[in-house]
Every structure is written in C-alpha cells, then in structure tokens.
Amino acid sequence: MVRPRLLILITLAEAGGAQSSVAQLLPALAADFDVTLAAHGAGPLRAAARESGIRLVELEHVRRAINPWRDALGLIELVRLCRRLRPDIVHAHSSKAGVLGRLAAVIAGVPIRVFTVHGWSFAAYGGPAGRLYLWVERRLARFTSSLVCVASAARELGTAAGTCLPERSVVIHNAVDVASFASVWPHGGPPRIVSVGRLAFPKDFSTLVEALAGLRADWRAAFIGEGPLRAEISGEVRRSGLEERIDLLGARGDVPDLLASADIFVLSSRSEGFPISILEAMATGLPVVAADVGGVAEAVLDGQTGLLVPPSDPKALAEALERLLRDEAFRRRLGAAGRRRARREFDVPIFRQAHLELYRRELARRDAVRSRELSVAVQPGE
C-alpha cells in the first residue's frame, strides 16, 4: 500500500518549543506516512529526525526575520520542494514557515495544508511586523485546510482576529513524554529556582531578575537557554548584585536532570502559546510560577498545580515565589498535583493520536471530494 506523503515545514531546527513539539510527533509518523522534514540550520530537531528515520531537507532561504528578498527566495525554494516531493499534506510550524509554506503549497497544488499556531505573531509583536502578520494570516485562513491551535486561548484569539476559521480549526495541546522525566529528588541547601527558555522576546527574563532581586527568603536560581539577549540579561544580573545566586547555564542537553534537582519552576513571558517548558516542569513534579498569558492557564491550575501572575509584574512574581520558598509542604503538594495532571492530560501518546486522526480526517475529506468530482465527470450525457 502506498503511504501518503507528508511534508513537515519549520523555520529553524534550533532548540525551542515548536521544535520540541515536532520532535515529539515524528516517531509516530514513519509507519503510516512517507515523511520529509524541512528546516534551516542546526539543532536537536535534526537528531530527532534521524532517530525516527525521517528524511531531512536543509532549507537555505527560510529564516525567522522578515526580509522581502530572502522571503521571496524562500517561497520559490518551498514551491520547488513541494513540486519535487508532491506531498499529500504540508504541515507547517512556526510563523515564517507557516506563511511561506502554505503559500507554496497552494501554488504547487498540494491538496491538504495544515498549520500549527504555536503563538500568533501578530499578538506577540507590535508595530509593522505584527500588522503585516495579521494581514497575511487573515488572507491565508481560507487556504488552510486545518489550523491546529496549541491552546484554546489561541483559537479564540484567532477567531476574534479573523485569522482562524472555527470550522477548520482544532485544539491539540502540546505534550511531553512524562515517563522520561524523573521526580524531584531531595537536596541540601537553599531552594532552587529554575527557568527554561530562549533568551529573547517574548520571554521576559528581565522581569524575573527584578523579581528575584526583591526576594527575602534564601534561594538559588538557574536560567537555562541561549539567545540574543544573553549579554543584556547577564548585565542585569550583575547590576542587581545576583551573580552569586543566578547561574546562566546556556543551552543544555540535561534539562530533565536540572529540573529534577530544582524546587520551583518559573516562566515569565509577555506572550505564549502553550509552553512545553511548563509541561516538562509539571512532569518532573515541580510547582510552576508563570505569567498568565496565552494558553498557560490551560496547563497551570492556579493554586492547584502552580501560581499564575500578571505578565511584566515583578512584584506579583516575587510574592508568588516568596510564598513557595517559605512553604515546602505547599510547593510539594502543587508539584505532585502537576505531575498527575501532566500524565493525565498532556502525555505524548494523546498528542500523537490527535495528529494521526487529524491527518486521516483530512485525507478522507480529500478522497470524498475527488470521488464526487469523478462521479460528476462520468455522468451519462456529459
């Protein structure tokens, strides 16, 4: 039996939430689909593709930044790729690949065009870039066979903005392999706070540094991740006199171990879709303190598995952290409830099955349309 051809597009192969989501999906696809993954640059997603036996294509011109000349070349590159591979489905992730990939799929005549919204760019970025993404997304909505939102909040925002057609959208929350995360282990010394994220907007490490500077309880902290704002964040840590308390660990391959050696997870962001870093913390059994943005509240139940605070509010963030730092029993109770919730709601088999069912529905819909068209074409007297 010929397997349907599936082309997965993502802008960059670097570490990140969208990339982690794709990496979680890949192992479930190879048996039923002829899969190709296309991305630019190096990163852990490449290793995930190799381990899953997935064909990998290096994109030359598709990049994150908006550049009319390079983006035109990226579109041409993707059209050529679609015409060469002739996929039945193109599934695009991340904003730039989502725009160029769907346009290329339309031009190349790909019948099924799926886009996963990990976070609406028009909501995360202000100014001309945000307005441009809003204009483009509104026009691409009717050319999108199915739009996957990683949170109900993203679906509601897209519907209100005219970038998401409710009848063509579905919510599939991100997921983690809960069993691969060890539970928090006991350790000596002051409580440890950990934050995982790219040192770049819309993550808001500046607010976190300011909140940490206002804490009265004893603590240590580690920031895990790299990005263009590393020097700026390092400077803020130094000016706050926190060099002895905050470790900037950079990109690490042992995040599960680092989470298991911590006591509290924190994510201060100005915009989010449905952050995988929070799911990883919950799978480990860490209480979560997070900015209440995007779909965060769909993962973190305030007062039950963690504490939610307003974004860009260092005082509220400090108060939530102080509460957990001073009450070990409370943070253990929240952490245990979070691990149970992650196993029940956000484990990877649920996520994979939802995607497989989505692809099968779209393929069945395509086949039904073709059958009707063929039936009309062979009607007597025509």
Check residue 365 and give its pLDDT. 93
CATH code for the part of the protein at 178-345: 3.40.50.2000
* Average pLDDT, integer, range 183-188: 82
pLDDT tens column, 20-39 = 999 999 999 999 999 999 99
Task: Report the CATH architecture of 5-175+347-377.
Answer: 3-Layer(aba) Sandwich (3.40)
251-257: average pLDDT: 92
pLDDT mean over 331-354: 96
Buried b / exposed e over 231-254, threshold 16 CB at 10 Å, is: eebbebbeeeeeeebbebbeeeee
Alpha carbon distance 275, 282 (integer Å):
11
| pLDDT number for residue 380 | 61
CA angle 339, 340, 343 (to 5 degrees): 85
Question: Helix 276-284 crosses helix 328-345 at what angle (to 10 degrees)?
Answer: 110
Per-residue pLDDT band at 113 (split at 50, 70, 90):
very high
Kindly report the pTM of this predicted structure. Answer: 0.89
- Whether 173 shows a pLDDT value over 80: the answer reads yes
Band (pLDDT 50/70/90 cuts) for residue 313 is very high
Provide mean pLDDT across the span 204-218.
Answer: 96
| Mean pLDDT confidence for 88-109 | 96
**Mean pLDDT for the chain overall:** 93
Give the chain's length: 382
Average pLDDT on 216-237 reads 96
Domain with CATH 3.40.50.2000 in the chain: 5-175+347-377, 178-345
| Contact between residue 354 and residue 172 where contact means Cβ atoms under 8 Å apart | yes
The pLDDT value recorded for residue 373 is 79
Task: Inform me whether the pLDDT recorded for 381 exceeds 80.
Answer: no
Among residues 1, 2, 3, 4, the alpha carbon closest in space to that of 88 is found at 4
pLDDT digits (tens, 9 = 90+) for 124-172: 777 888 898 899 999 999 999 999 999 999 999 999 999 999 999 999 9
Q: Is 308 left (phi over 0), alpha (psi -120 to 50) or beta?
A: beta
